[in-house]
Amino acid sequence: MADELQLKVNGRTLTVTAPPETPLLYVLTDDLALKGPRFGCGLGQCGCCSVLADGVEIRSCITPTSKVMGKSLTTLEGLPAYYATRMKLKSPPQLHPLQDAMIVEQAAQCGYCYNGQIIKGAELLFRTPEPTEAQIRTAMNGHICRCGTYPRIMSAIQRAARAMAAAKRAEASNDVEEAAHV
Amino acid sequence: MSEPNERSVLERREFLKTTGAVVVGLSVADKVGAQAPPSVVPSVQRGLASGPPDPAQVDSYIAIHPDNTATIFSGYVELGQGAPTALRQVAAEELDLDLDQVKDVKADTFVSTNGFTAASRGAGIGGTELRAAVAEARRVLLELASERLKTPVRDLIVTKGVVSVRGDPQRSVTYADLLGGKPFNRTYEPVSYQGGIELPRKGLDNAVPKRREDYRIVGTRVPRPDIAEKIKGTYEYVQHVRLPGMLHGRVVWPRGQGAHGISNPTVVGIDEASIKGIPGVQIVRRRNFVGVVAPREWDAVRAARQLKVTWEPFAESLPGHEGVSASFRSAKTNDAIDTNSGDVPVALSRGAHVLSATYRGPYQSHGTMAPNCAVADVSKDGALVMCSDQGIYQTRNGVARLLGLPVEKIRVQYCAGSNTYGGSCYRDAAQAAAIMSQEVGKPVRLQFSREDEFGWDNYGPAHLADLRAAVDANGKLLAFEYKAWGHTGGGMDTAMQLALGTPPPVTPPGGGFGPLFQVHLSQTDMYDVPNRLIVNHRVVGSGYLRTGPLRAPMDPSVFFAQEGMMDELAHAAKLDPYEFRKRNISHVRWLGVLKAAADAAKWTPRLAASTLSSAQVVSGRGMGLGTHHLPFNQGDRVTYAAAAVDIQVDKGNGLVVVTHVYGAMDCGLAINPGIVESQIVGMCVHGVSLALKEEVQFNRTNVTSLDWNTYRTLRFGDHPAVTPIVVQQLHEKSSGAGEEVLPAVVAAIGNAFFDATGVRIREYPLTPQRVLAALKSAGTPPRRA
């Protein structure tokens, strides 16, 4: 039976009418018309459908919607704003630094898996801001890319980590300057 | 995207009114950050008339707009490979426009020229066709400017679509002033092909394209605009398309195909009560085609899972994936000699080193990242089909036959899916969506499941090869003999077969895609071999799996065998594998890519397997050449590729890891070397996946590789570092760039394994089981004193 389900998606609270066991993916793509999470296998094996639930990457294709009510969901569309919140930035950037890095690297080919690659990579960078190559390989291992762009995703994650570290250093030195002026 | 003219937009709206396809928004969408509601309609249509438009008309290829931009109407599509960006570069170059002044449109059978984006034709053949049309367009524009400015054409220069008088830049006129919004009305002699070979153009007065020395956009690494959209999440895949009143469809097909041509799915009964209680679900049936539709997607998904359909059991007619070679050997074959030069038996008898070996390659899947999807809206007067077919004009034929409508009433619009690597189930998806829409009288979005896609793929065929070869005492090739077994098979899309209720036609040996699945090693003349025999033992496809073209069809298996044998010969002659190849190749472009890969890898002369170690984890390196054989087309456009790889083998658990791939490619004029590098990176990783992981598994009755656990692919954790090398050739024809490194990588991995272990594996993928078995049967690998 269809129920009214309350969800928090990209910072907004919404109500959708759907059977509570409906996999979250179908609510996000069909009811909310989001383009980030997408169908790849329906089995939780490939990572195309990934979203963040309270900052943790989940596979929306096998997650019943009822299981994520009350959690804060972030899709690719909401990632820059979520990044701003997590990093306590004054305003959200246009894109998450990993997205910027992936464009610089011209990493994608068909790009279908990139929703999951970006979501998972962003999760990694929140948790481990300067990951080693081995840490990246382990974290990303559940995300398949059939175009074979793994080397460029690796480069993009490393580039984003450097950019985030540089931004942090710049901010820290600004803070010191501001503190000195007080 | 822009509107070429107002009238055609009106016409498009009229057409769409009849099919119900209009932009639809969902009210909640804007609130959660969706960039735009799912839209379905490309913003440009050129009218109601079904294409393809006349290739001899400049207007078929290009339009100039009042804002001094241009749109090209190429039928070559974005498969993720970047060809549309390369085509925009070609047009911008010839017209002296900036790249951002040239737009393109999604391919549409009411709009686009007839391009078939397969066999890596997009930039080469597509670019050549477009260059000829656009060169003519430039001539028209300059003739008009000459009249307007009262200056001979030779004294005009063009910058960003502004034509001015040399030395007097104040006297100028824009393309838009000359022709904005108006047609060229110019016929010209288009580029044409026979048997895939570009024919000389006869006209003495054809517009001459720009001198390549003067290129400023072609040959540069401009970024692909679609990549930014894909990273931002705004790119529209066919999976995103939604139409008003649309139903979600799923097919209900047997789990995993059976023996092609023998185990034809036949419905015995459908238990309609098995899906009772799922709201709004309808069963769609046409003969043996069974599917379900429902307003809500999840309802269609669970209905498809729950619906009990009884099928006639499949016969135990398949050989099983481990029995293919034996089955090929015992099959009655139709033999075709591809090449017979010199006297192979005599030459073999005179060799200082004479070797024979049998090599094998598996069935492999396209393994699309996303299962195929299509949206169809069928009325009694016509149909709109949105799908990711590599050839939109080819899609029309099957759909028209199934719907009983004339081909010109079928409008097909391309909408990208995920990677396809050739003929995955996109045409089945288009046909299935069309059948379902016609049955229920509403638009239907058909999404295959992972299991549908894996189980009913048109796999790349298995391969068996017996090789014999000989070299003289100096390591010069004397004879090379290649006897290949393989089959074609397909002939009819699965959706059509089910809906027509007829078994697929049995493709005769060598028919259908047959030529693509035969060995034509002579065509590219990689090695200088005085005596050569190539025989194709063509097996009838019935009783095996459905097959179709899979990226570089057959080439990974063929080069795994050929380059494996070359390495075996080098080892027998006690030569470094690179030195051996240099001794036996005189073609400068083959030598060029070989050197490029070897230099990048800092290759040092070595006799393979001469530094064996008793450690558990051992390392090795190997090299191989590759290309994509093109029996049908592009015979005048050969691409040259080479790879060198570094690998590690764990003799304890049999795991092979490729640590670095150096891939070099000479595809003639690389219109965008950055995109070509991206293709090389992808091919190097895909090649590792093919060599180590991928194999379609099946038993006597049906395919059992139905998901990512039962069809293995290379994962992030195991990917190699990749060094891509583009060998730029400004004055050569642009040739394919999406397939050719792949076979070189597979071959190089086999050779590196021998270097690491002293054991030759002649069957891939090199799975841990196969590796352990090979090491065991070889006994303790020989150790060098």
Which member of B230, B713, B717 has the closest CB to residue A108? B230
Which residues make beta-bridge pairs with B485? B464, B537
* CA B392 vs CA B109, B113, B669: distances in Å: 6, 10, 27
Mark whether B73 and B116 lie in a shared domain.
Answer: yes
Mark whether B639 and B660 lie in a shared domain.
Answer: yes
Residue B758's nearest CA partner among B719, B784, B730, B721 is B784
* Whole-angstrom distance, CA of residue B611 vs CA of residue A172: 53
Whether the upstream peptide bond of residue B765 has omega within 30° of 0, thus cis, is yes
Instruction: Mark yes or no for CB contact B29/A26 under 8 Å.
Output: no
Q: How many domains does chain B have?
A: 3
**Which positions ≥6 away from B768 have C-beta within 8 Å?**
B653, B654, B655, B656
What pLDDT was estimated at residue B38?
Answer: 32
Instruction: Mark yes or no for CB contact A34/B709 under 8 Å.
Output: no
B299 to chain A, minimum CA–CA distance in Å? 9
Instruction: Mark yes or no for CB contact A147/B237 under 8 Å.
Output: no
Give residue-wise pLDDT tens across range B271-305: 999 999 999 999 999 999 999 999 999 999 999 99
Q: Confirm if B164 and B157 have CB atoms less than 8 A apart.
A: yes
What pLDDT was estimated at residue B541?
Answer: 87
Mark whether B160 and B271 lie in a shared domain.
Answer: no
From B205, B235, B265, the end of a domain falls on B235
Annotate A49-118 with DSSP letters as a single string: TEEEETTEEEEGGGSBGGGGTTSEEE-GGGHHHHHHHHTT-SS--SS-HHHHHHHHTT--SS-TTHHHHH
* Whole-angstrom distance, CA of residue B257 vs CA of residue B492: 14
Q: Confirm if B666 and B592 have CB atoms less than 8 A apart.
A: yes
What pLDDT was estimated at residue B469?
Answer: 98
Instruction: Mark yes or no for CB contact B369/A39 under 8 Å.
Output: no
From B217, B235, B253, the end of a domain falls on B235
Mark whether B472 and B499 lie in a shared domain.
Answer: yes
B35 to chain A, minimum CA–CA distance in Å? 7
Mark whether B298 and B262 lie in a shared domain.
Answer: yes
Q: In B, which residues are within 8 Å of A112 by CB distance? A: 80, 237, 369-370, 417-419
Which member of A18, A106, A153 has the closest CB to residue B227? A106
What pLDDT was estimated at residue B47?
Answer: 58
Nearest 5°: the CA angle B120, B125, B128 is 145
* Whole-angstrom distance, CA of residue B444 vs CA of residue B268: 26
What pLDDT was estimated at residue A181?
Answer: 64
Instruction: Mark yes or no for CB contact A146/B297 under 8 Å.
Output: no
What pLDDT was estimated at residue B8?
Answer: 32
Instruction: Mark yes or no for CB contact A109/B82 under 8 Å.
Output: yes
Quick one: pLDDT band at residue A179, thresholds 50, 70, 90? Answer: low
- Is B295 contained in some domain? yes
Instruction: Classify each residue of B165-191 as buried b or exposed e, where b means 16 or more C-beta atoms within 10 Å of its C-beta.
Output: beeeeeebbbbbbbbbeeebebebbbb
From B455, B476, B497, the end of a domain falls on B455
Q: In A, which residues are within 8 Å of B81 by CB distance? A: 109
Instruction: Mark yes or no for CB contact B233/A36 under 8 Å.
Output: yes
Which member of B31, B296, B722 has the closest CB to residue A12? B31
The two structure tokens encoding residue B319: 């050989």
Q: In A, which residues are within 8 Å of B720 by CB distance? A: 151
Instruction: Mark yes or no for CB contact A45/B234 under 8 Å.
Output: no
For the purposes of burial, counting CB atoms within 10 Å of the CB of B286, is it exposed (0-12), middle (13-18) or buried (19 or more)?
middle
Residue B218 sits in which domain range? 49-235
B37 to chain A, minimum CA–CA distance in Å? 6
Which member of A14, A26, A107 has the closest CB to residue B32? A14
Residue B76's nearest CA partner among B132, B43, B121 is B121
The average pLDDT across A1-13 equals 94
Domains of chain A, by residue range, sit at 3-75, 78-181
Q: Confirm if A27 and A7 have CB atoms less than 8 A apart.
A: yes
Mark whether B571 and B448 lie in a shared domain.
Answer: no
Mark whether B627 and B511 lie in a shared domain.
Answer: yes
- Is B20 contained in some domain? no
Instruction: Mark yes or no for CB contact B235/A138 under 8 Å.
Output: no
Q: In A, which residues are within 8 Å of B29 by CB distance? A: 32-34
Residues of chain B with pLDDT under 70: 1-48, 195-196, 511-515, 521-524, 630-635, 780-785
Strand pairing of B289-294 and B247-251? antiparallel
- Tokens 């074979």 belong to A148
Instruction: Mark yes or no for CB contact A26/B296 under 8 Å.
Output: yes
Output the furthest CA–CA distance in chain B (Å, rounded).
86
Instruction: Mark yes or no for CB contact B370/A9 under 8 Å.
Output: no
- Is B740 contained in some domain? yes
Mark whether B286 and B424 lie in a shared domain.
Answer: yes
Strand pairing of B463-471 and B353-361? antiparallel
Give the CATH number of the domain where residue B533 resides: 3.30.365.10
Instruction: Mark yes or no for CB contact A150/B227 under 8 Å.
Output: no
**Which of A102, A112, A136 would best serve as a mutation to test chain B binding (most B beta carbons within 10 A)?**
A112
Mark whether B359 and B398 lie in a shared domain.
Answer: no
- Is B297 contained in some domain? yes
Mark whether B360 and B419 lie in a shared domain.
Answer: no
- Is B687 contained in some domain? yes
Give residue-wise pLDDT tens across range A80-113: 999 999 999 999 999 999 999 999 999 999 999 9
- Tokens 């580039």 belong to A159
Q: Flag whether the ipTM exceeds 0.90.
A: yes
- Is B40 contained in some domain? no
Mark whether B646 and B712 lie in a shared domain.
Answer: yes
Q: Confirm if B300 and B509 have CB atoms less than 8 A apart.
A: no
| CA neighbours closer than 13 Å in the CB half-sphere of residue B50 | 13
Which member of B418, B683, B715 has the closest CB to residue A112? B418
Q: How many residues are given for chain A?
A: 182
What pLDDT was estimated at residue B125?
Answer: 87
What pLDDT was estimated at residue B61?
Answer: 95
Q: For the structural domain made of A78-181, what CATH number should be given?
A: 1.10.150.120
Tell me if the domain spanning A3-75 has CATH number 3.10.20.30: yes
Tell me the backbone φ, ψ of residue A128, rounded to 5 degrees: -130, 90
Which residues make beta-bridge pairs with A50? A59
- Is B37 contained in some domain? no
Mark whether B534 and B402 lie in a shared domain.
Answer: no
- Is B8 contained in some domain? no
The average pLDDT across A124-145 equals 98
A168 to chain B, minimum CA–CA distance in Å? 23
What pLDDT was estimated at residue B29?
Answer: 37
